[in-house]
Amino acid sequence: MQKTVLIVEDETRIAQWVKTYFERAGFYAEVCADGRSGLQTARQLAPDIIVLDLMLPGMSGEAVCEALRRESDVPIIMLTAKGAHHDRITGLESGADDYMVKPFNPEELVARANAILRRVKGKVQNSLQCGPVSLDLGARVATLSGAPIALSVAQITLLETFMRHPNQVLTRNQLIEMAFEGNFDAFDRAIDSHIRRLRKVLHIENHEPIQTVYGAGYKYVVTDLNL
Ligand code: CA
């Protein structure tokens, strides 16, 4: 089934550019240039996912996001200005599922949209699957080729975060923010040992799913996404 994306962005060049990339990826895409029409279109179109600029004329992206959250759980990716840390926080606090900082790579935006859509599907299924690794989100049990893996609660949460963002570079801060909503100070120091543990249990033959991207963070590499 063709997925629908609504792009709410007042900069025509960016909006068209994003639209083109989504269309290439097989989406049906619609563009709105201001917050109010974005909100109206979201209600009428019921898109699978929304790309929402934070800085919009009239009604801000933040207000649109908050209004949408009161009536739907449609996934929202917020576009924020470069370097504006508070914009990112604002975006996430207003209910966005993810954010991208301008200037961004449109291919990465589409990849993240697809990852979120898989996550939504995963919620319905109540499990995540990446290659041979499966995670039961209800029972909080991970298995590798059907065999249960012994992991702590924090490690399961970390694994879930990796599985929800396959093939995406995640910084330590992003991991902590996404897995523990940023309020897990002790985890910052423990993260390396948790990742070592995950690496040890997930390692199969020559395949190392959790890779270090030097100077950037970690990436959970999945070659066969059975989603
Ligand atoms: Ca804007």
Q: Please give the order of strands across the beta sheet that includes 127-130.
A: 127-130, 133-136, 141-144, 147-149
- The pLDDT of residue 123 is 63
* CA 110–ligand 1 middle distance (angstroms): 19
Which tokens belong to 178?
């996404």
Helix (H) or strand (E) holding 62: helix 61-71
* CA 120–ligand 1 middle distance (angstroms): 27
* CA 33–ligand 1 middle distance (angstroms): 9
220 Cβ contact partners less than 8 Å away, ≥ 6 residues apart: 130, 162, 163, 165, 166, 167, 168, 170, 209, 210, 211
- The pLDDT of residue 43 is 87
* CA 93–ligand 1 middle distance (angstroms): 19
* CA 52–ligand 1 middle distance (angstroms): 9
* CA 143–ligand 1 middle distance (angstroms): 44
* CA 221–ligand 1 middle distance (angstroms): 33
Give the phi and the psi of residue 11 in degrees, each rounded to 5. Answer: -85, 105
Q: Which amino acid is at 133?
A: V
8 Cβ contact partners less than 8 Å away, ≥ 6 residues apart: 31, 32, 33, 34, 35, 38, 41, 42, 50, 51, 52, 53, 56, 61, 64
* CA 12–ligand 1 middle distance (angstroms): 9
* CA 147–ligand 1 middle distance (angstroms): 49
- The pLDDT of residue 59 is 93
Buried b (16+ CB within 10 A) or exposed e, 170-182: beeebbbbbbbee
pLDDT in tens, the chain (227 residues): 678 999 999 999 999 999 999 999 999 999 999 999 999 999 888 889 999 999 999 899 999 999 998 888 889 999 987 666 676 677 677 788 888 988 899 999 999 999 999 887 766 667 888 888 999 988 889 999 889 999 988 899 899 989 888 888 888 888 887 777 665 655 556 788 889 899 999 887 777 889 999 988 999 988 765 44
Which tokens belong to 77?
């990716």
* CA 113–ligand 1 middle distance (angstroms): 19
Q: Closest by alpha carbon to 220, among 127, 96, 154, 131? A: 131
Q: Sign (positive/negative) of CA torsion 66, 37, 30, 43?
A: positive
- The pLDDT of residue 187 is 54
* CA 11–ligand 1 middle distance (angstroms): 6
Q: Going from the N-terminus, what domains does the chain have, and what CATH number goes with each? A: 4-121 (3.40.50.2300), 127-220 (1.10.10.10)
* CA 56–ligand 1 middle distance (angstroms): 5
* CA 204–ligand 1 middle distance (angstroms): 46
* CA 16–ligand 1 middle distance (angstroms): 13
* CA 161–ligand 1 middle distance (angstroms): 29
Go through the chain and tell me how many residues it has: 227
**DSSP secondary structure letter of residue 204:** B
216-52-183 Cα angle (round to 5): 50
